[in-house]
Every structure is written in C-alpha cells, then in structure tokens.
Amino acid sequence: MIELEVYAKGLRKEQHIMELRNQMDLLPRVRYKIDTNHDLVYFEIDDPREVSFRQLNDLFTHIGLIPRFVGQIPDTLRQGDETMRLA
C-alpha cells in the first residue's frame, strides 16, 4: 500500500471539492480523504499499478488546481511517465 499527500491551494472551495469527488469516481480503487482546513488530500493506493502519478496530477489540473505532492513520490507511481527522475 502507498500513502500519498497532496496540497492544492483553493481546494476548500465547495465547487472544487465536488469536482474532485466526481473525478475520483474514475479511480474507484483509490481511497482518499479531504482535509478542507488545510487544502490537503490524503490518498491510499493498494496497487500502484492501477494509478499513475500523471493520473493523480491530472485530477487536480482538470478542476483548475495546482497539486503539490508532499514528500517523495514512490517510483511505482511513476511507471509509464515520459520523464526520468534526475539524481
């Protein structure tokens, strides 16, 4: 299981919360919790092959938010991305 935390400024607006919930319907096997007081979303992903970093990033950009991933992004989420991580 992978746990991931994402900060998205402006998430606490009700319209953004509703849009994020609608977007999360596209990823039924990813659990999430929204902390509206701090504009954070906590994700729990059992199988990292079912979702990619790009998909999670697109969830936020689709509703007009800029996601900032807190901490290190696991390499298993980066599978299929076009870029390589710099050392």
What is the model's pTM?
A: 0.80
For 22-31, what is the mean pLDDT?
89
Per-residue CA distances from 22 to 47, 56, 71, 79 (Å): 21, 13, 26, 25
Collapsed DSSP state (helix, strand, coil) of residue 28: coil
pLDDT band at 78 (very low <50, low <70, confident <90, very high): low
Region 10-28 average pLDDT:
91
Please determine, for residue 9, whether its predicted confidence score (pLDDT) is greater than 90: yes
CATH architecture of 2-72: 2-Layer Sandwich (3.30)
Q: Where are the domains of the chain?
A: 2-72
Does residue 81 surpass a pLDDT of 60?
A: no
